Amino acid sequence: MNNTITVGLLGLGTVGSGVIEILRDHKERIEHKTGCHVTIKSVLVSDMKKPREVPAETQLTDQYQDITRDPEIDVIVEVMGGIDHTLTILLEAIEHGKHIVTANKDLVAQHGEQLFEACQKHQCDLYYEASVAGGIPIIRTIMDGLSSDRIHKMMGIVNGTTNYIMTKMAQDGVDFDSVLKEAQELGFAEADPTADVDGLDAARKMTILSILGFSMPYRLEDVDLKGIRGISSADIMYAEEMGYRIKLIGIAENDHNGVSVSVEPTMLPIQHPLSSVNDEYNAVYVYGDAVGETMFYGPGAGKLPTATAVVSDLIAILKNIRLGTTGTAYVQPQFPKQVKTKDEKISKKYIRLHVDDKAGMLSELTNIFAQYDISFDQFIQRSTDEEGERELMLVTHQVSESDFEKAAQDLDSLAAVRNIDSIYRVEGGN
Ligand code: NAP
Ligand code: HSE
């Protein structure tokens, strides 16, 4: 083998150790595909005292400059996480002509543009397949497989932790706090699960998909974001009764009014393919004008699934190096950013509320909805343990975000409305 490609690995945790394992176990296959021998020269870690298993030729360092400034290193694989400090390291590496593979969605969602500009300037490659949905090759699918089509909608279960929690709540009737604790004990949920549970992790991934899928410089700040903390067993039960399952879904839509991206607990028809994506699995549903509906399913995280995506990116770079085409893959977004207003964001809605059980209550409620031209698709009412109280669950037909918000405010100000418990987006039907 004439060509040796030298890699510097930043991070040797879950994904980093998977990268070493795949490069070792699939050595011949990778050499056959690329005509290159890959060697990991250096690995950056923070704790030099931890026991590690690395190849004989690999040295450990806690000084990133040992890697970014090493003239022998061709490609940097960043699997350490973090944002600002990691950005500094990668920008310095790019200035030194290194190609980059990263699994870091936090970084790509926030600073992707800056990294791409630096890469273009220095003719470097930047690949980030593992940053969205771990082992599912969704970025390559959107960039290559569907590149001839116009994508107008993507729906994704792109966070494994929250999908695990929602699945257990629905299947076992357990409350949110107990499942979260169990997920942490099993190692699915991180010690600090804030970014997962509050939807930020999924919003970062949907931002990356939206920029690519719609060729528009969409930003994380433009995503409508609501996590799963407030979900109650009652909503899950009523949703099932009405023919729906609640999932944390990222929905990105692009039409003549512009783009809207939301990450929020959403009621999906039980027969929708995403409704049966359970536990920690991920799936992305893509609607193209020409191809129609497609769905991609698989493990969204984990040592080997994520490392597979990272090493596939490395292989893409090796091929580019051999062909002399590095630094040419990036395509600027084709369209300026156009974010939909609340009047233009249209969906069905579910609302659950507690009201006084008195004559005329329902007509007060329907009068408010009628003022905003909102009609109902489904309606359930139940008695509660409270004296003189009813619990109402409604699913509307399609309504704008702004009209629904105004109707909900008017409802809240009715003397007979004791409490609005929950409001969710509903997918499917008119
Ligand atoms: P991890 O297990 O926590 O490992 C992080 C590694 O980076 C550790 O080896 C750590 O060193 C090193 N590190 C962190 N900060 C450092 C610093 N400032 N200086 C030097 N070394 C530092 O993380 P991971 O789960 O492998 O995730 C890595 C990246 O992949 C993250 O961006 C994550 O979002 C992304 N990702 C992970 C998964 C997954 O399933 N885990 C899936 C998709 C994407 P020590 O070993 O010395 O502590
Ligand atoms: N915390 C993430 C999840 C890991 O639960 O999906 C993969 O990005």
d(CA 110, CA 201): 12
**Which ligand neighbours the alpha carbon of 20 most closely?**
1
Q: Ligand 1 site: residues with CB under 6 angstroms?
A: 11-16, 44-47, 50, 79-82, 85, 103-105, 130, 134, 301-302, 306
Query: Can 4-134+303-323 and 138-299 be said to share one CATH topology?
Result: no
| Threshold 0.85, pTM exceeds | yes
d(CA 75, CA 101): 8
Nearest CA to ligand 2 atom 8: 301
326 lines ligand 2 (CB under 6 A): no
Domain 138-299 CATH class label: alpha beta
Give helix 84-95 / helix 105-121 axis angle, nearest 10°: 20
- Residue-wise pLDDT for 90-132, tens only, equals 999 999 999 999 999 999 999 999 999 999 999 999 999 999 9
- Residue-wise pLDDT for 347-400, tens only, equals 999 999 999 999 999 999 999 999 999 999 999 999 999 999 999 999 999 999
Supply the pLDDT for residue 331: 85
Mutate to test the pocket of ligand 2, among 104, 138, 157, 159 (most ligand atoms within 8 A of CB): 159
Q: Using an 8 Å Cβ cutoff, are 354 and 383 in contact? A: no
d(CA 374, CA 342): 15
- Residue-wise pLDDT for 202-216, tens only, equals 999 999 999 999 999
- Residue-wise pLDDT for 51-104, tens only, equals 999 999 999 999 999 999 999 999 999 999 999 999 999 999 999 999 999 999
Q: Using an 8 Å Cβ cutoff, are 347 and 398 in contact? A: yes
Q: Using an 8 Å Cβ cutoff, are 54 and 24 in contact? A: no
Supply the pLDDT for residue 113: 94
d(CA 378, CA 333): 41
Fold of 346-426: Alpha-Beta Plaits (3.30.70)
The CATH homologous superfamily for domain 4-134+303-323 is NAD(P)-binding Rossmann-like Domain (3.40.50.720)
Mean pLDDT of the chain: 96
Mutate to test the pocket of ligand 2, among 14, 102, 161 (most ligand atoms within 8 A of CB): 161
Identify the band that residue 426 occupies on the pLDDT scale cut at 50, 70 and 90: very high
d(CA 68, CA 65): 5
Res. 2: pLDDT tops 70:
no
Res. 1: pLDDT tops 80:
no
C-alpha 77 – ligand 2 centre gap (Å): 19
Domain locations in the chain as residue ranges: 4-134+303-323, 138-299, 346-426
Supply the pLDDT for residue 186: 77
C-alpha 288 – ligand 1 centre gap (Å): 35
Q: What separation in angstroms does the CA of 187 have from each of 35, 160, 190, 191, 370?
A: 38, 12, 7, 9, 49
Average pLDDT over residues 398-407: 98
Closest by CA to 27, choosing from 51, 52, 53, 55, is 55
Centroid of chain to Cα 152: 17
Strand 244-255 and strand 258-269: the pairing is: antiparallel
d(CA 261, CA 71): 42
